[in-house]
Chains A and B, each alone.
Chain A
Amino acid sequence: MSGLPESFAAIEGVEPARLELDGVSKSYGETTVLDRVSLTVARGEFVALVGPSGCGKSTLLKMVAGLEFPDAGHVRIAGTDVTDVRAADRDVAMVLQSYALYPHLTARQNLALPLVMRRLTGRQRLPFVGRFLPGTRAQLAAIGADVEKAGRALKIDHLLDRKPAAMSGGQRQRVALGRAMVRDPRLFLMDEPLSNLDASLRVHTRAEIVDLHKALGATTVYVTHDQEEALGMADRVAILHRGRLLQVASPEIVYRDPSRIEVASFIGSPSIGLIEAVIDDRGRAIVFDRPIAEGFAAQAGATVRVGIRPEHLRIGGHDDAILPARLDRTEFLGADALAHLRLPDGAPIVAKATPEIYRGFVPGPVGLAWNAADLLVFDAAGDRLRPRFDAATVTAERAHV
């Protein structure tokens, strides 16, 4: 637990649960929201579920929580099939996107609520009468202590007697987080918990959630549309697109080795440049009559899309270039700079480098170069095409600027 903030170290770990989704499908009328999604999250693992808005990631999370139920497939938590079990009986904690704090209750009451609901009987929860039933006092005292502890861990102990309306967005977010962690969940779900925070707070809270996950040890599924968040926080990233799970892998793999063109375009900022090419009879990808990559087993005449990350695109002289292009303008972003370019057919493409490299660049004709090993090639259906042999050496020689 070294390296963790002092306050989180006090949190006792719980027995985390393994989560299995097995062929989960859901449709609303004609629209298929989820199409046979299978995903296993190991005990204690932090998985980020990413995808563009409307890809079904929130629906999938609600299914794990028990707020939505699949048309087909199974949800298993800790080996138990909970497909038809409602949320209240699943013992799953969730931070909702809008936080959904009860506005009429103080932070303390908000935090205590899940404990009150679970530890007290219906009769003990009765107004007035309940307080005098045997055991209620002891339970309430224990709940109060747990709430204090969670409040201290999240550094919101000074806010506990405020109502949500009297708190800032960041404070509310922490209360929502506290309400989820106060009952030591074995499965922790978060639906875009940072989307309502401003940029600087978001980066800070990101680190805190990762620390919290380490301290709690709970299995965590984290939904976000922000690929940077997903890459930075998760052990593994699951990319969902139009209701289908495209790839589940470590952040580095989904970035460097995407299996589908949608994954390549969604992950990475600015997004990957895609150039349409045709495979010739020697297995080379041809763009504007120039071979730009080789070694593909695809049929001659097949259309492929060649992807190149902005940071792999080099701008150099006209002569030794793989492709000619036009530089429209450069954009200074501090640590990085972007170069907005156009291919001969007018299609835009972006290159990224340190600002020093682009210093003195003026709009006009330039040459583009890259290392063939950095290219990501996809067939017409969007599946990844891998070269049969390492073609890097051949094109790399030409590529040196």
Chain B
Amino acid sequence: MSDHALALPALPAVAPRRRVDHDDRAALSLVGPIAVLMLLLLLAPTAAMIALSLTDAELGASTITFVGLDAYRDVLGDRTFLISAKNTALYVAIVTPASVGLGLGFALLIEAGTELRGFFRSAYFLPVVSLITAMATVWQYLMHPAIGPINLLLHVVGLPSINWLGSSDNVLGSLALIGIWQQTGFDMVLFLAGLGAIDRTLYDAAEIDGARSAVDRFRLVTWPMLGPTLLFVVTITMINAVKVFETVMTLTQGGPAKASEVLLWTIYQEGFVFLHLGTASAMAVIFVAVLLVLIVFQTRVMDRRVHYG
């Protein structure tokens, strides 16, 4: 026994080390391909964007100089960019609560109903699968100040007609309306999935505990149980709203008088129309940074409050 114990330290220490090397190599060969792909496809473009944002790069220009944070200073002092940021924030602030709320409402109605559930589900989901660029022409017609059916309808009931897309006071609201129309169905489908995952016996328990009204049951079971879904839906909806572009591109081109100038449109103009790659990259970096902050806030702070397991 003691002989054996004494003999142990004398054993060559090489064997285990070789084993570790072998494991390391196996691990590297397994992780390697995806790590390279991630670097090339996900991280490199972002790095390139950040690098470009520190230069005065212009498409077609022969020279490129490092200008440090100049582009950021320009961008943050640029009136158009500030209007654009404010408009985008406003657009997000309208579209997110409205489409999340409507999506939840429709999901609850569909879940509570017995007939035609499949039909309603598909109907509300249609705007999500339809091509927004194509549907924009329909909206242009609907919102046309003179021949648009919406204004005709308003006229019939005796209300004054509204210049939906042509007035700088209305244009952002009109675009938000289209955004809500487009997003609600998506949110609804996510909520339907969340509602379906709620343990039915909790409603039995609520009923026995004396939750008489639908409001009581909603407050006691549905709302808290939907927490994780709600967090996800709000995050997705905000990201989608921040990325508004197609409707602006096809319907208003940022106008009138920059009233529908939004971030992606401004970046697009800067990069692809004015060919200011450096400035556009700086805007894009700011754009991504703002999105990241939003997402991190939601997942870190809110997550703790909606997951109970």
> With the chains together, A67 CA to B217 CA distance in Å?
14
B211 at the interface (CB under 8 A from A): yes
CB of B308 within 8 A of CB of A163, answer yes
Q: Which of B16-24, B138-146, B200-208, B288-296 contacts A (4 or more CB under 8 A)?
A: B200-208
CB of B207 within 8 A of CB of A67, answer yes
> With the chains together, A114 CA to B220 CA distance in Å?
11
Interface string of A79-96 (1 = CB under 8 A from B): 000000011110011101
Max count, chain B CB within 10 A of own CB: residue among A97, A101, A117, A165: A117
Note all chain A residues with C-beta closer than 8 A to B216: 117, 122, 125
**Known interface pairs A118-B210, A163-B308, A165-B309. Does A102 touch B221 (Cβ–Cβ under 8 Å)?**
yes
Max count, chain B CB within 10 A of own CB: residue among A98, A118, A164: A98
Nearest Cβ in chain A — how far from B137, in angstroms? 46
> With the chains together, A378 CA to B213 CA distance in Å?
52
Nearest Cβ in chain A — how far from B114, in angstroms? 15
> With the chains together, A387 CA to B206 CA distance in Å?
53
A388 at the interface (CB under 8 A from B): no
Query: How many chain B residues touch A (Cβ–Cβ < 8 Å)?
Result: 20
Note all chain B residues with C-beta closer than 8 A to A98: 199, 201
Nearest Cβ in chain A — how far from B225, in angstroms? 8
Nearest Cβ in chain A — how far from B210, in angstroms? 3
Taking a contact as CB atoms closer than 8 A, the residue among A86, A103, A113, A164 that contacts B207 in the complex is A86
Max count, chain A CB within 10 A of own CB: residue among B209, B210, B225, B308: B209
A241 at the interface (CB under 8 A from B): no
Taking a contact as CB atoms closer than 8 A, the residue among B204, B209, B220, B309 that contacts A67 in the complex is B204
Interface string of B255-280 (1 = CB under 8 A from A): 00000000000000000000000000
> With the chains together, A66 CA to B207 CA distance in Å?
9
Taking a contact as CB atoms closer than 8 A, the residue among A87, A104, A114, A164 that contacts B224 in the complex is A104
CB of B308 within 8 A of CB of A65, answer no
CB of A100 within 8 A of CB of B201, answer yes
Question: Do most interface residues of chain B lie in helix, strand or loop, or is the interface mixed?
Answer: helix
CB of A87 within 8 A of CB of B199, answer no
Taking a contact as CB atoms closer than 8 A, the residue among A94, A97, A102 that contacts B220 in the complex is A102
CB of B201 within 8 A of CB of A88, answer no
CB of B207 within 8 A of CB of A87, answer yes
B166 at the interface (CB under 8 A from A): no
Interface string of A109-130 (1 = CB under 8 A from B): 0000110011000100100000
B300 at the interface (CB under 8 A from A): no
A179 at the interface (CB under 8 A from B): yes
CB of B227 within 8 A of CB of A104, answer yes
Note all chain A residues with C-beta closer than 8 A to B199: 98, 100
**Known interface pairs A117-B216, A163-B308. Does A102 touch B202 (Cβ–Cβ under 8 Å)?**
yes
CB of B208 within 8 A of CB of A93, answer yes
B304 at the interface (CB under 8 A from A): no
B212 at the interface (CB under 8 A from A): yes
Taking a contact as CB atoms closer than 8 A, the residue among B204, B205, B213, B227 that contacts A102 in the complex is B205
Taking a contact as CB atoms closer than 8 A, the residue among A101, A103, A114, A163 that contacts B210 in the complex is A114
CB of A88 within 8 A of CB of B208, answer yes
> With the chains together, A114 CA to B211 CA distance in Å?
8
Nearest Cβ in chain B — how far from A153, in angstroms? 19
Q: Which residue of A lies closest to B201 (CB)?
A: A100
Q: Which residue of B lies closest to A93 (CB)?
A: B208
Nearest Cβ in chain A — how far from B227, in angstroms? 7
> With the chains together, A163 CA to B309 CA distance in Å?
9
Q: Which residue of A lies closest to B205 (CB)?
A: A100
CB of B210 within 8 A of CB of A117, answer yes
Nearest Cβ in chain A — how far from B203, in angstroms? 9
Taking a contact as CB atoms closer than 8 A, the residue among B208, B209, B308 that contacts A103 in the complex is B308
Instruction: State which residues 16-47 of B face A: CB under 8 Å.
Output: none
> With the chains together, A101 CA to B308 CA distance in Å?
12
Taking a contact as CB atoms closer than 8 A, the residue among A94, A163, A164, A165 that contacts B208 in the complex is A94
Q: Which residue of B lies closest to A118 (CB)?
A: B210
Q: Which residue of B lies closest to A68 (CB)?
A: B204
Q: Which residue of B lies closest to A94 (CB)?
A: B208
Note all chain A residues with C-beta closer than 8 A to B202: 100, 102
Nearest Cβ in chain B — how far from A69, in angstroms? 12
CB of A100 within 8 A of CB of B207, answer no
Taking a contact as CB atoms closer than 8 A, the residue among B204, B211, B308 that contacts A117 in the complex is B211
> With the chains together, A65 CA to B205 CA distance in Å?
10
Instruction: State which residues 113-171 of A face B: CB under 8 Å.
Output: 113-114, 117-118, 122, 125, 163-165
Note all chain A residues with C-beta closer than 8 A to B201: 96-98, 100
**Known interface pairs A98-B201, A117-B216. Does A88 touch B227 (Cβ–Cβ under 8 Å)?**
no
Note all chain A residues with C-beta closer than 8 A to B211: 88, 117
CB of A92 within 8 A of CB of B208, answer yes
Q: Which residue of B lies closest to A91 (CB)?
A: B210
Nearest Cβ in chain A — how far from B178, in angstroms? 35
Q: Which residue of B lies closest to A67 (CB)?
A: B204
CB of A67 within 8 A of CB of B208, answer yes
Q: Which residue of B lies closest to A101 (CB)?
A: B205
Nearest Cβ in chain B — how far from A385, in angstroms? 43
> With the chains together, A54 CA to B139 CA distance in Å?
55
CB of B227 within 8 A of CB of A114, answer no
CB of B308 within 8 A of CB of A88, answer no
Note all chain B residues with C-beta closer than 8 A to A62: 204
Max count, chain A CB within 10 A of own CB: residue among B204, B224, B225: B204
Instruction: State which residues 149-202 of A face B: CB under 8 Å.
Output: 163-165, 179
Note all chain B residues with C-beta closer than 8 A to A179: 205, 209
> With the chains together, A88 CA to B199 CA distance in Å?
19
Q: Which residue of A lies closest to B207 (CB)?
A: A87
Note all chain B residues with C-beta closer than 8 A to A164: 308
Note all chain B residues with C-beta closer than 8 A to A88: 207-212
Interface residues of B (CB under 8 A from A): 199, 201-202, 204-205, 207-213, 216, 220-221, 224-225, 227, 308-309
Q: Given A98-B199, A103-B225, A125-B216, output 14 extra A-B contacts at Cβ < 8 Å.
A: A65-B204, A67-B204, A67-B207, A87-B208, A88-B207, A88-B209, A88-B211, A94-B205, A97-B201, A102-B220, A104-B224, A104-B225, A104-B308, A179-B209
A-B contact pairs, 12 of them (CB 8 A): A65-B208, A89-B212, A94-B208, A96-B205, A98-B201, A102-B205, A103-B308, A104-B227, A104-B308, A113-B220, A165-B308, A179-B209
What are the 4 tightest A-B residue pairs by CB atom distance, in nearest-first order? Answer: A117-B210, A100-B205, A103-B308, A104-B224
